[in-house]
Structure 1
Amino acid sequence: MTDWTDPDTFAQALENADTREKGNYFEDFAEGDLLAHDLGLTLSRPGNEGWMSQTLNHDPAYWRTDAAHERGFDEPPIHPDYLTAATLGITVEDLSEKGGYFLGRTDVRFPGAPVYPGTELRVESEVVSTATSSSRPEYGIVTWRTRGKDAQTDDVLCSYERTNMIPRREPVATDGSGAAASGSEDEAADGPDLPAEFVVPDGGYFEDFVDALERAADRDAAVAYRHERGRTQDDVTVAALPLATLNTAKQHHNVDVMADSPSGDIVTYGDVTRSTALGHARSDERTWREVGFDDEQFHTFVAAGDTVYAFTRVLEAEDEVSRGASDRAGTVRFEHIAFNQDDEPVYSGTRTAEIRKRSD
């Protein structure tokens, strides 16, 4: 009788065995396809608090009932960062399980009412476009519009558009040109064209951001500052948080496969990097409500042992909000940049949030 556990026998068995593959290749996606993802997730308070605590998002309205009531919530709701990460995580098995680079995401919106623990999340994605990568013939580029819905009511809770490189079954011939470089050598030699002065808000209320923008107006100045906190990536942030959102991508869990990748190791889920940077930023402001996110990009890998810091630019402030509470908050648009211990940008994006006003 064959001993399948004999090392030589098992090595031969592995060599002869076909692999039951997971995920889809680039060729499996066609513009207009609608994918209803089988996986679902019940958004729970422990899951919400686990995500928030590990990414340093400590807004009391998402932790305490009295603070939630003050903000107009029935109870501590699900945080938009956790909702966004869970919505994307559910899609991974169908969309990006094969690997490939997360190129960016935009138009992140939360069109419905507040989301509370116990909500069952169902997700669908539509293929917006597919394209050939001229610089990486073994990959194609796919963009999806994804919607996370309440499984009971069919209300859209979170939606966004994201773009990934996706491996091809067979590489294609390209001219290898890649993206054209911007600027000339003379421009590069002149160095970056930064403002002469960086203005820092005096506090985290709406009026502080308005005042800082007014101080910077009509001068060679920008409202820009870095945040003191940092969060070093560990086993929880690199592996546990993605699994908690059903994100099974090999980039976060398979050291063996990733050893031969450009990163050389498993990497942090982009939404962990993003949420950590946003947590640093929110600790220096009085957030009332998140409105949306645009132009999100991921610039380089983040792995275990890397530390995520954050830098913020204040772009504009308006004395109005999208739904009620106009006497309690105003709207501010930010650009946030996450960077690592080597001062390399790892994530960037614009964020619109309602920021609490000072009470008289």
Structure 2
Amino acid sequence: MKTNPGRFFEDYRVGEVIRHAVPRTLSGGERALYHALYPARHALYSSDAFARACGLPASPLDDLIAFHTVFGKTVPDISLNAVANLGYAEGRWLAPVYPGDTIRSESEVIGVKENSNGQSGNVYVRTRGLNQHGEAVLEYVRWVMVRKRRVEAPAPPAVVPELRKVVAAQDLVVPQGLDFSAYDFALAGERHRWGDYEIGETIDHVDGVTIEEAEHMLATRLWQNTAKVHFDATFRPDGRRLIYGGHVISLARALSFNGLANAQMLVALNAGAHANPCFAGDTVRAWSEVLDKAETAAPGVGALRLRLVAAKAGAAPFALKGADGKYLPEVLLDLDVWALIPR
């Protein structure tokens, strides 16, 4: 058999390192498509001149382009037969990615645990994205619910890794040369800086985007994500294609521009949950909560820890969980990130 049916839960062993196939050289084409698919308009990722004025050699590709590219490489080995992508932790962007860089991915299996139904299990992996020089540009942990090939197959011994709830502020990596001391607020689109945000403050990002079927499949193909649930309408009992969770992340991040236009760079992914499935026809809106603030050693650069929430249109403002502690059915995404912002 020469074709690849993908791995199933019982195929994973803790400690295994998987080098994922097909490195990808990124270009300005990815930037153009990203900005066409999402309402992305942060100035640092739109203008070489603006980026140079902030101390960088040119405008990097959006942080989430790097994330999607690294993530997409892992799908054939990690989540081709996934039921759902469950969460993220300990994510850090370690270096900007520029047009011309070639990105590859590798993952270490750090945990496995069969579910009580005996039909699936959760697989934990630590993934790194590396450039053409072998330098890490991104790392994160994610865990995925994966089907078993045979229900009667014995499960590997359960190992659940202990993961940090938050990336410490001192562990954030600020890109070399980044300098916001002469930051142009007019060109960036808003006047709000680090000191204007208060811990506990919530921001309604106002705008919304209705997801189209062709649009989300184009985006998922762009990142070479081959998970069956996103394309094959026969793969789910309800006959619906599940929206790639990263598509929702990028929509929410782009929508957050209205109120957080100066939160220019994502530098850490503390936690994340795809709370409920998203389908074509859903209209996505977003809101944020300021969870923490930190200074950095870079000139003029501060960091905000933000909760970024995506929900379907019609959800109550700033509503997240019910009295039972579970996510409300309208909530699609609950993401905890650190972002760099001028002080």
Following superposition, the deviation at residue 64 of structure 1 comes to: 1.5
1:196 is matched with none
* Counterpart check, 1:297 vs 2:286: no
- Change over 3 Å in CA distance of 1:332–1:254 after alignment to 2: same
Q: Measure the CA separation in 2 of the matches of 1:204 and 1:90.
A: 37
Amino acid at match of 1:330: G
Is 1:54 paired with 2:2? no
Are the counterparts in 1 of residues 10 and 153 from structure 2 also a CA contact under 8 Å?
no
What is aligned with 2:287? Answer: 311
CA contact (8 A) 1:35 1:126 kept: yes
Q: Which amino acid aligns with 2:123?
A: V
- Partner of residue 354, structure 1: 340
Distance in 1, Cα, partners of 2:240 & 2:2: 22
Question: 1:43 is matched with which residue?
Answer: 26
- Alignment check: 8 A CA contact 1:97 1:249 kept: yes
State the shift of 1:19 in Å: 11
Alpha-carbon separation, structure 1, partners of 2:111 and 2:124: 5
Q: In the alignment, is residue 334 of structure 1 matched against residue 309 of structure 2? A: no
Instruction: Give the Cα–Cα distance (whole angstroms) in 2 for the partners of residues 172 and 282 of structure 1.
Output: 49
The residue number in structure 2 matching 1:82 is 65
Say if 1:141 and 1:164, in contact at 8 Å, map to a contact too. yes
1:119 paired to 2:105:
no
1:1-360 residue pairs with structure 2 within 5 A?
20-112=3-95, 114-134=96-116, 136-150=117-131, 152-171=132-151, 204-209=192-197, 212-213=198-199, 222-258=200-236, 260-261=237-238, 264-285=239-260, 286-318=262-294, 320-321=295-296, 324-325=298-299, 328-343=300-315, 344-357=330-343
Higher share of residues assigned helix: 1
Give the unaligned 5+ runs of structure 1: 1-17, 175-201, 214-221
Measure the CA separation in 2 of the matches of 1:235 and 1:308: 14
Query: After the TM superposition, which segments of 4 or more aligned residues of structure 1 sit over 6 Å from their partners?
Result: none
Relative distance call for 1:106 and 1:81 in structure 2 (3 A) is same
Q: How many residues are treated as equivalent by the alignment?
A: 293
Segment drifting more, 275-284 vs 138-147: 275-284
Q: 1:226 to 1:23 in 2, by over 3 A?
A: same
**CA shift at 1:296, angstroms?**
0.5
Q: CA deviation at 1:351?
A: 1.1
> 1:25–1:77: structure 2 CA closer, same or farther, 3 Å change rule?
same
State whether residues 78 and 117 of structure 1, in contact with CA within 8 Å, keep that contact through their aligned partners in structure 2: yes
What is the letter of the counterpart of residue 55 of structure 1? Y
In structure 2, C-alpha distance between the alignment counterparts of 1:83 and 1:107, rounded to whole Å: 16
Q: Deviations over 1:156-204 (max 9, x none)?
A: 0111000000000122599xxxxxxxxxxxxxxxxxxxxxxxxxxx963
The RMSD of aligned alpha carbons is 2.1
Bigger CA radius of gyration: 1
Contact kept, 8 Å, 1:137 with 1:173, in 2: the verdict is: no
Ranked by relative contact order (alpha carbons within 8 Å, sequence separation 6 or more), the top structure is 2
Query: 8 Å contact 2:42–2:264 — kept in the other structure?
Result: no
Q: Tell me the CA shift for residue 235 of structure 1.
A: 3.3
Moved more, 25-34 or 236-245: 236-245
Contact 1:105 1:161 (C-alpha < 8 Å) held by counterparts: yes
Partners of 2:273 and 2:228 in 1: CA distance: 20
**In structure 2, distance between residues paired with 1:38 and 1:314:** 38
Q: Give distance in 2, aligned partners of 1:255 and 1:23.
A: 18
Q: TM-score scaled to structure 2, two decimals?
A: 0.80
Helix, strand or coil at the partner of 2:272: strand
Q: Deviations over 1:290-335 (max 9, x none)?
A: 22111100011111111111111111223x225x22xx23111111
What residue ranges of structure 2 are gaps of 5+ in the alignment?
155-189, 316-329
Q: Find the aligned partners of 2:264 and 2:91 in 1 and give their Cα distance.
A: 18
Q: Give the deviation of 1:287 after TM superposition.
A: 2.0
Q: TM-score, normalised by structure 1?
A: 0.77
What letter is aligned with 2:68?
A
